[in-house]
Amino acid sequence: MGLNAECWKGRTVLLTGHTGFKGGWLAIWLQMLGARVYGLALEPATAPSLWQVARLDAQVNGDYVDLRDQAALVDTVRRVDPDVVFHLAAQPLVRASYRDPVETYATNVMGTVHLLEALRSSQRLKAVVVVTTDKCYENREWLWPYREQDRLGGIDPYSNSKACVELVCNSYRQSFLAANGVQLATARAGNVIGGGDWAEERLLPDVLRAWDAGQELVLRYPQATRPWQHVLEPLCGYLLLAQRLLSKPDENIEAWNFGPDAAGVVSVGELVERLARLWRTGPVSWRVAEQTQPHEASLLALDSSRAGQLLGWRNRWDVEAALQRTLEWHWGWQEGADLVELCRQQIRSYERALP
C-alpha cells in the first residue's frame, strides 16, 4: 500500500494544528496530493515558525480557533464540512505541562472532546486521525518496545493528557462516530525532527539555537533514549492510515504506532554527537545540566509492526539522513531559500523512497 494521489484529489481535509511544525509540513504534503486543505489552529507558538518563514498563510486557508471554544469549532466544522480530519493541534511539550497542567488538560483532552463533538454533525465525514504520542503508554522503563495493546499511562501531565485523549477517542468511536459511518483511529509517533521546528525545550531546536549563536549546549537527559525519525516519516503514516480508513470502512483497528526500528532508537547524547559531526561551521560543545530536572521517561521505543504489516509503512530515512535533511533545511532558511519549495523538494525525495 502506497500513497495514492487519486484518493486525495479534490477531498476536503480539515487539519487542526496547521500553524505548527508537523501541521505545516502535512498541509504542504496534502496540497501536493491534490487535497483541499482547511486549517484550524492558534497563531504560531514561536517566532520564527514554519508558518511564518515559509509564508504558509498565503498557501493554506484556515482560521485561528482555540480548541477550548466549542461554539467556534462547531461553526468551523459546519462551514468546512470535511471528508477527512487530521487532529494535530495540542499543547505538545512535557516541560510546559509541568508549568501549566490545567491548560494542558484543557487543550489536549477537552479540546479533543470539543472537536469530536463538533464532528458528530458533519455530513460528509468519513475518516478521522487523531495524533497522540508515544508517551501515552505506562512507561515501565523496560527495553522492549511498546505495542498498541499495552497499558496507557503517563506520569507528566502532557503524557497523561494524551493517554486521556486515547480513551476519549475510544468512547466517541463506539458511542457516536461508528454508528454514523465514520472511522476514527489514533496515531502514536516517536520523536520527530526536521526543518522548521523552533519549539522551546525540544532537543533539535535547542541544539540549533545554541550552536548558531556559538554557545554551549546544555543537555538535560543525555542518557535518555528516544525513537528518532524525520517528520515526514509519521506524516506518511498518518496519510496511509487515513487512506486505509477510507478504503476499509468496516475495519476496526483503533490505535497505530509509527516509530523507527531499533537503529533509530538512540540516546540524546549520541544524537547530539552525530549532529556535531555534520555541523559545517566551527567547533561546537555541550555539557550536562547540573540542576535536578522534572521527570521524563528514560527508555522509550515503539513496536510499529502493525503499521508495517497492514499499511506497508516503515522508516525510509535513517537517523543520519534525518539529521542531514534537517540541517539542509535549516541552512536553506539561513540562506534565504524558498522554504515552501524546499519542503516540497524534501517531500518529493521522500516519496521516491516509497514503494
Residue 125 sits in a domain whose CATH number is 3.40.50.720
pLDDT-derived band at 89, boundaries 50, 70, 90: very high
Residue 256: name the closest of 300, 304, 301 by CA.
304
Q: What secondary structure letter does DSSP report for 42?
A: P
Instruction: Give the C-alpha separation, 107 to 264, whole Å.
Output: 30
User: Are the C-beta atoms of residues 177 and 119 closer than 8 Å to each other?
Assistant: yes
Residue 221: its pLDDT value, please? Answer: 83
Whole-number percent of the chain with pLDDT over 90: 85
Opening angle at CA 230, ends 226 and 234, nearest 5: 85
The confidence score (pLDDT) of residue 25 equals: 98
Q: What is the DSSP string of 52-115?
A: HHTTGGGT-EEEE--TT-HHHHHHHHHHH--SEEEE--S---HHHHHH-HHHHHIIIIIHHHHH
Give the per-residue pLDDT at 323: 98
| DSSP characters over 102-150 | HHHHIIIIIHHHHHHHHHTT-SS--EEEEE--GGGB-----SSPBPTTS
Give the closest residue to 128 by CA, choosing from 73, 187, 171.
187
Question: What is the b/e burial string over 36-55, where b = at least 16 CB atoms within 10 angstroms of the residue's CB?
Answer: bbbbbbbebbeeebbbbbbe
Q: How many residues belong to the chain?
A: 355
207 or 226: which carries more pLDDT confidence? 207
- The reported pLDDT for the residue numbered 355 is 82
Residue 293 has pLDDT above 70, yes or no: no
Return the DSSP state at 9.
Answer: T
| pLDDT mean over 333-339 | 97
Q: Which residue has the cell 477537552?
A: 110
pLDDT at 297: 62
Residue with cell 486505509: 244
Task: Tell me what the mean pLDDT of segment 136-160 comes to.
Answer: 92
Instruction: List the end-to-end C-alpha distance of the chain, in Å, as a whole number.
Output: 8
Please give the model's pTM, rounded to 2 decimal places.
0.96
Q: How confident is the model at residue 296 (pLDDT cuts 50, 70, 90)?
A: low
Those residues whose C-beta lies under 8 Å from the C-beta of residue 69, and which sit 6 or more positions away, are 114
Residue range 187-210, pLDDT digits in tens: 999 889 999 999 988 999 999 999
Domain that holds residue 262: 5-352
Q: Tell me, what's the pLDDT at 216?
A: 94
Quick check: 60 and 27 in contact, CB under 8 A?
Answer: yes
Phi, psi of 198 (to 5 degrees): -120, 25
Question: Is 186 in contact with 169 (CB distance < 8 Å)?
Answer: yes
Q: Which helix (H) or strand (E) holds 338?
A: none
Whether the link from the prior residue into 48 is cis, omega within 30° of 0, is yes
Rounded mean pLDDT, 171-180: 95
Number of domains into which the chain is organized: 1
